[in-house]
Amino acid sequence: MGLKDQQRALAKLFTLSSARSDSLSDNEVLKENGLFIKDLGFIKDQLSIQISEFADSLIKKRLGQVKQHIPATCYIIKARLAEVFQDYAKNEPISGVKKHLNDSLMFMEYIDVNHSNFLKKDVYKSLYLFEKTWLKSILANRFICIKFYSFDVNSTLQKLKLYDNSSIVSLGSPRICFWFKSSPNKHVLYREFYPRFWPVSFTKRLQVKN
């Protein structure tokens, strides 16, 4: 077995929970993947523990990267963030140049499908969608999107620390947000607008109490 094949086999063990379960319970599977217990000098249980510990450290590192890209979404589920990300990441390997951006987007989709209860509040749903749109715009070859938000979502995202107390937090005025990307090698053009006049129905939820 060549070096690339061995690296691929090890990558499966380090990143996929199902691969570790299958491989470490079957000597023949280990041999097929080019991993021989006697050559490594560990008994199977010891190897399993070390691989699992290393896999956990990789997932924690992935979560650290994801937090940088989607801080609001991670804040929304902060009470169970580590647990939810562990469930998502244990069988979702990542690769590629923009792997952490893709990882963040896949994690958001996982939350939407499996933990939508976190997104029941209008404010949280808006913050989630705002970050998701940004990820999609960065990853896309070409992108254009216009969204309306009933508060200043960009400013609110940058001031999430305000939610750490129980006081009422001003969310600012409504915004129309615009994303545009003309080609893969161009940066995303982002603009937001605050028209002077708004219908009352658009401005009735400008404050939230945590």
Q: Which residues are within 8 A (CB) of 65 and not within 5 positions of it... i.e. 6 or more apart?
A: 100, 103, 104
Whether residue 178 lies inside any domain: the answer is: yes
- Region 130-153: mean pLDDT is 94
In a domain? residue 81 = no
Looking at residue 27, what is its pLDDT? 54
Residue 206 lies in a domain: yes
In eight-state DSSP terms, residue 44 is H
Range of the domain at 165: 125-210
- Residue 165: predicted pLDDT: 47
The domain tally of the chain equals 1
Kindly state whether residue 59 falls inside one of the protein's structural domains. no
Q: Write the pLDDT tens digit of every residue in 50-89.
A: 555 556 678 888 999 999 999 999 999 988 999 999 999 8
Residue 26's SS3 state is coil
- Whether 101 maps to a domain, the answer reads no
- What is the pTM for the complete model shown? 0.70
pLDDT digits (tens, 9 = 90+) for 82-115: 999 999 988 887 877 889 999 999 999 999 999 9
Kindly state whether residue 202 falls inside one of the protein's structural domains. Answer: yes
Percent of the chain past pLDDT 70, that is, above it, reads: 61
